A and B are shown apart, each in its own frame.
Chain A
Amino acid sequence: MYSENSVLIKAIDLNKIYNDKRVKVEALKNVSLTIHKGEFIAILGPSGSGKTTLLNCLAAIDYPTAGEVYFKGIPFQNLKEEERTAFRAKNMGFVFQFFNLVPVLTVLENVELPLLILGSKNKEAKEKAYEVLKKLKLESKVDRFPYELSGGEQQRVAIGRAIVHSPEVIWADEPTGNLDSETGEKIIDLLEQIREENGTTLVIVTHDLNIAKKADRILFIRDGVLKEHFEIG
Chain B
Amino acid sequence: MFTLKFALRNFIKKWELTILLIIGAIIPSLLTVSSLSLNDSIQAYRHSQIERNFGEVDAYIVNNNSNMFFSFPVSQMALDNLKESRYTKNVLSVSENLGRLEKDNKFLEVLILATNEEDLSSFVDENVVLKPGKVVVGKDAAEKLALNLQDIVTVHMSGGSRNLEVSYIGESGFLNYKGDMGQYPGSIFVCVEDFSGSFIFPSKAYVDFVDSEKFNIEELNLPPNLEIVFLKDNFLNSPMNEALGYIMFAFNSFALLSGIILIIVFGNSLANEQEKNVGILRILGLKRTKVMFIFFLQTIFYFGFSSIIGCILGGQIGKQLLKKLVLIANSIPYDSRSGFTLPPFVISPKTIFIGFMIGIIIPLIIFIKKGLEITLSSPIDSLRKDIEEYNPHSSVGWLCFILILIGILITILFKEFAILGLICISLGFIIWLKNPYLNVSLSILFIILSKTIFDVAKNSFSFNFIFQRIALLVVSSILFFTSIIPILKKLSKSFSAKKSLPYLLGFSYVERFPLRVLLLSLMFGTVIFGIIVIASVPSNLVKFVDSYTNEGLFGYNFVVVSNPFKNGNDTQDILVHDGINRPSRVNVALLNSELIVFVDDSFLETVELPFEENNQWREDLKKPGSIIYGKFIDDEEVPDKVNGVLSSIFPLGGNSKGMYDVVGYFYLKDVVIPIRYVAHVNSIPVNIKSLEILLGNANNSNINELNKSYMSDFDYPIFLEDILNSVFNGVDNIISLTTSMLYLGLISGFSGLALYSFRSCKLRSRVIGTLIAIGANSKDIIQGFMIENFTIVSIGSLIGLSCGYLVSKDLVLAIFQFMGTFNFYFPILKVVAIIILVYLISFFTLLIPARQVSKISPAESMKELE
Chain A residues with a Cβ under 8 A of chain B: 52, 56, 59, 61-62, 82, 85-90, 92-94, 96-98, 100, 102-105, 109, 113-114, 116-122, 145, 147, 161-162
Contact = CB atoms under 8 A, between A and B. Distances in A.
Nearest to B502: A116
B456 interface: no
B775 interface: yes
Contacts of B499: 119
A62 B859 contact: yes
A86 B771 CA distance: 12
Given A102-B767, A103-B389, A122 B500 contact: yes
A114 B498 contact: no
Interface of B: 388-391, 493-494, 497-501, 504-505, 508-509, 511-513, 766-767, 770-778, 780, 857-859, 862-863, 865-866
Contact of A147 (B391, B497, B866): B391
Given A52-B866, A122-B497, 20 more contacts: A52-B863, A59-B773, A62-B859, A85-B777, A89-B775, A90-B775, A96-B770, A98-B866, A100-B766, A104-B513, A109-B508, A113-B771, A113-B774, A117-B501, A117-B780, A118-B775, A120-B498, A121-B497, A122-B494, A122-B500
Contact of A88 (B389, B767, B773, B780): B773
A97 B866 contact: yes
Contacts of B859: 56, 61-62
Nearest to B391: A147
Contact of B776 (A89, A93, A147): A89
Contacts of B865: 98
A103 B388 contact: yes
B774 A161 contact: yes
A89 B494 contact: no
A113 B501 contact: yes
B472 to A, nearest CB: 32
A226 B504 CA distance: 42
A109 B504 contact: yes
Nearest to B490: A122
Contacts of A88: 773-775
Most buried by A among B509, B766, B862: B862
A191 to B, nearest CB: 16
Contact of A116 (B501, B509, B513, B766): B501
B775 A117 contact: yes
Contacts of A116: 500-501, 504
A61 B497 contact: no
B767 A100 contact: yes
A94 B774 CA distance: 7
B775 A147 contact: no
Contact of A94 (B493, B504, B508, B773): B773
Contact of B771 (A102, A122, A162): A102
A109 B500 CA distance: 12
Given A117-B501, A147-B391, A86 B508 contact: no
Nearest to A90: B775
Contacts of B512: 103-104
A100 B770 contact: yes
The 4 closest A-B pairs by CB, nearest first: A89-B775, A62-B859, A100-B770, A104-B512
A117 B858 contact: no
A147 B500 CA distance: 24
B17 to A, nearest CB: 22
B862 A103 contact: no
Contacts of B511: 104
A94 B513 CA distance: 28
A130 to B, nearest CB: 15
A100 B770 CA distance: 7
A147 to B, nearest CB: 6
A119 B778 CA distance: 15
23 contacts: A52-B863, A59-B773, A62-B857, A85-B776, A86-B777, A87-B775, A88-B775, A94-B774, A97-B866, A98-B766, A102-B505, A102-B508, A103-B388, A104-B508, A104-B509, A104-B511, A104-B512, A105-B504, A113-B501, A113-B774, A114-B774, A116-B500, A145-B390
A122 B774 contact: no
A159 to B, nearest CB: 13
A105 B773 contact: no
Nearest to B496: A122
A8 to B, nearest CB: 18
Contacts of A117: 501, 774-777, 780
A42 B391 CA distance: 36
Contacts of B500: 116, 122
A118 B513 CA distance: 28
Contacts of A103: 388-390, 512, 767
Nearest to B390: A103
B809 to A, nearest CB: 38
A90 B777 CA distance: 12
B403 to A, nearest CB: 26
Contacts of A100: 766-767, 770, 862
A219 B497 CA distance: 43
A147 B508 contact: no
Nearest to B513: A104
Contacts of B493: 122
A114 B775 contact: yes
B857 to A, nearest CB: 7
Contacts of A147: 389-391
A140 B325 CA distance: 67
Contacts of A90: 775
Nearest to B511: A104
Contacts of A98: 766, 865-866
Most buried by B among A52, A87, A98, A122: A122
Contacts of A161: 774
Contacts of A87: 775
A23 to B, nearest CB: 15
Contacts of A145: 390
A92 B770 CA distance: 13
Nearest to B788: A104
A60 to B, nearest CB: 9
Contacts of B858: 56, 61-62
A90 B501 CA distance: 16
Contacts of A120: 498
A46 B134 CA distance: 111
A203 B378 CA distance: 40
A122 B770 CA distance: 21
A92 B501 CA distance: 19
Contacts of A61: 773, 858-859
A93 B774 CA distance: 7
Contacts of B775: 85-90, 92, 114, 117-118
A59 B865 CA distance: 19
Contacts of B388: 103
A52 B391 CA distance: 31
Nearest to B501: A116
Most buried by A among B505, B511, B858: B858
Nearest to A63: B859
Nearest to A126: B493
B767 A119 contact: no
Nearest to B858: A61
A90 B865 CA distance: 26
A148 to B, nearest CB: 10
B99 to A, nearest CB: 76
A160 to B, nearest CB: 12
Contact of B862 (A96, A102, A104): A96
A88 B858 CA distance: 12
Contacts of B773: 59, 61, 88, 94
A76 to B, nearest CB: 14
B201 to A, nearest CB: 86
A92 B776 CA distance: 12
A28 to B, nearest CB: 13
Nearest to A81: B778
A85 B498 CA distance: 18
Nearest to A119: B498
A194 B498 CA distance: 28
